[in-house]
C-alpha cells in the first residue's frame, strides 16, 4: 500500500511538471503561428494578404460558403478567439497556478512553490486531451493492422493547410457543439423565458436541472453519443481527404469534446480542439521552416516528436489515474 501511495505521489509530481511544460508549449505556439503566417514564406505563392475560400459550416447554412476571406485578417480573428478561450480556461473556475509556502528552511526566505489546481478548466482540458492523444494513437495502430487508415486532409500548401486547420476548431465547435448539442439540450431541459438561452449554449451544465427527472443524465449521455457519431461521420462524409479510419478516432474525440463542452463550457471544448489542430501543426511547420523536415507527416520532425512524447507520458499517467478512480468507484458501489 505504501509503495502504491509513493507511486501515485511521484506520478502526481511528474504530472504537475508536464502540465507546466504543456502550458509553456501551447502558449509559445501562439507566437509561432503569428511568425509562420506573417514573417515567413512557407506558403510560397500563398501569403498572409491572399484571399482564400473559407468553408465555414455555419456560413454554408446561409449560402455564404463561396466567399473569399483575407487569410491574414481571418487568421488573427481566429487567434484572438482561441487566446480568449485559453485565458478563460486558465483562470476558471480558479486560476490554474496557485502559490503556496514551501517547507522550512526555504519558508524563512519567503519562497513559494506553484501548485497545479486540478479543478481548473485548462488543467482538465489538457489532461483529457493527453488521454485522448494516447487512445487515438492506439486506435490508429490497431486499425492499421486491418488495413484501415485515417487518411490525410492536408493540402499541398503548408500555409493553407495551417490556416484551414486553424479555422476548424471554431468552425466545428459552433456547428457540432453549440448548434447540434447545446441547442437540443436547451430545448429539452431548460425552461423558456428565464433568459438562459445564451448561457446554456455556452455552458449547458450550469442550466440543466437534474431534479427534472432521473432519466436526465441518461438523456444527456445519449445526445452526446449521437452528437459524437455525427462528428465522426462528418469527417468522412464531407470529404477533406479523411478515410474510414478517421470515423472512430474523431468519434472518440467527439465524445470527450462534447463532455468538456457540456460540463466545462465552450471555451474548454474549443481549447481541446485548438490543441489538436493548431498547436501540433504550428510546431510541425516550424520544424519544416527551420530544418526542412516533413511538414505533412508525423515522422522526422523533432518539434512534433518532443510535443508528442510530452502528451503521451502525461496521457499514460492520466489514463492510469482515471482507471484507478473508476475501479475504486465500482468497488465502492459493489459493497453497498
| 3 state DSSP class of 167 | helix
Q: How confident is the model at residue 193 (pLDDT cuts 50, 70, 90)?
A: confident
Domain contains 2: no
pLDDT tops 70 at residue 269? yes
Domain contains 111: no
Residues written for the chain: 336
Q: What is the pLDDT of residue 108?
A: 43
pLDDT in tens, 121-160: 999 999 999 999 999 999 999 999 999 988 887 778 999 9
- Domains in the chain, number: 1
Question: Which DSSP letter does residue 206 get?
Answer: G
Domain contains 8: no
- C-alpha to C-alpha distance for 201 and 188, rounded to whole angstroms: 13
More confident residue, 328 or 2: 328
Check: CB of residue 151 under 8 Å from CB of residue 335: no
Domain contains 105: no
Domain contains 4: no
pLDDT tops 80 at residue 46? yes
CA max distance for the chain:
67
Average pLDDT over every residue of 229-256: 89
Lowest mean pLDDT among 70-74, 134-138, 214-218: 214-218
Domain contains 3: no
Q: What is the pLDDT of residue 114?
A: 59
Q: What is the pLDDT of residue 105?
A: 45
pTM, rounded to two decimals: 0.91
pLDDT exceeding 90 applies to what percent of the chain? 61
- Residues spanned by the domain of 138: 13-93+119-334
Domain contains 1: no
For residue 53, list its beta bridge partners: 68
**CA nearest 254: which of 230, 220, 237, 277?**
230
Domain contains 103: no
- Which grid coordinates are listed for 91? 483562470
Q: What is the pLDDT of residue 216?
A: 84
**CA nearest 221: which of 234, 208, 233?**
208
Q: How confident is the model at residue 213 (pLDDT cuts 50, 70, 90)?
A: low
Amino acid at each position: 500500500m505504501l509503495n502504491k501511495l509513493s507511486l501515485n505521489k511521484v506520478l502526481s509530481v511528474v504530472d504537475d511538471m508536464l502540465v507546466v511544460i504543456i502550458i509553456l508549449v501551447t502558449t509559445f505556439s501562439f507566437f509561432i503561428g503569428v511568425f509562420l503566417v506573417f514573417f515567413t514564406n512557407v506558403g510560397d505563392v500563398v501569403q498572409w494578404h491572399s484571399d482564400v475560400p473559407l468553408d465555414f459550416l455555419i456560413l454554408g447554412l446561409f449560402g455564404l460558403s463561396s466567399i473569399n476571406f483575407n487569410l491574414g485578417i481571418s487568421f488573427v480573428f481566429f487567434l484572438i478567439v482561441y487566446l480568449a478561450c485559453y485565458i478563460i480556461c486558465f483562470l476558471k473556475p480558479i486560476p490554474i497556478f496557485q502559490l503556496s509556502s514551501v517547507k522550512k528552511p526555504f519558508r524563512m526566505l519567503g519562497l513559494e512553490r506553484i501548485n497545479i489546481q486540478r479543478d481548473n478548466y485548462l488543467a482538465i482540458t489538457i489532461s483529457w486531451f493527453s488521454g485522448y492523444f494516447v487512445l487515438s494513437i492506439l486506435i490508429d495502430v490497431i486499425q492499421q493492422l486491418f488495413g484501415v487508415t485515417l487518411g490525410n486532409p492536408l493540402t499541398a500548401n503548408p500555409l493553407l493547410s495551417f490556416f484551414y486547420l486553424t479555422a476548424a476548431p471554431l468552425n466545428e465547435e459552433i456547428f457540432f457543439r453549440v448548434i447540434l448539442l447545446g441547442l437540443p439540450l436547451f430545448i429539452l431541459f431548460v425552461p423558456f423565458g428565464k433568459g438562459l438561452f445564451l448561457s446554456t449554449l455556452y455552458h449547458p451544465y450550469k442550466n440543466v436541472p437534474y431534479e427534472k427527472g432521473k432519466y436526465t443524465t441518461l438523456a444527456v449521455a445519449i445526445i452526446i453519443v449521437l452528437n459524437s457519431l455525427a462528428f465522426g461521420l462528418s469527417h468522412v462524409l464531407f470529404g477533406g481527404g479523411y478515410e474510414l479510419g478517421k470515423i472512430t478516432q474523431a468519434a472518440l474525440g467527439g465524445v470527450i469534446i462534447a463532455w468538456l463542452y457540456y460540463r466545462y463550457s465552450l471555451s474548454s471544448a474549443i481549447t481541446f480542439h485548438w490543441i489538436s489542430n493548431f498547436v501540433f501543426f504550428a510546431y510541425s511547420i516550424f520544424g519544416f521552416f527551420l530544418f526542412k523536415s516533413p511538414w505533412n507527416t508525423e515522422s522526422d520532425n523533432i518539434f512534433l516528436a518532443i510535443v508528442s512524447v510530452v502528451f503521451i507520458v502525461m496521457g499514460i499517467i492520466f489514463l492510469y489515474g482515471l482507471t484507478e478512480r473508476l475501479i475504486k468507484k465500482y468497488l465502492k458501489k459493489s459493497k453497498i
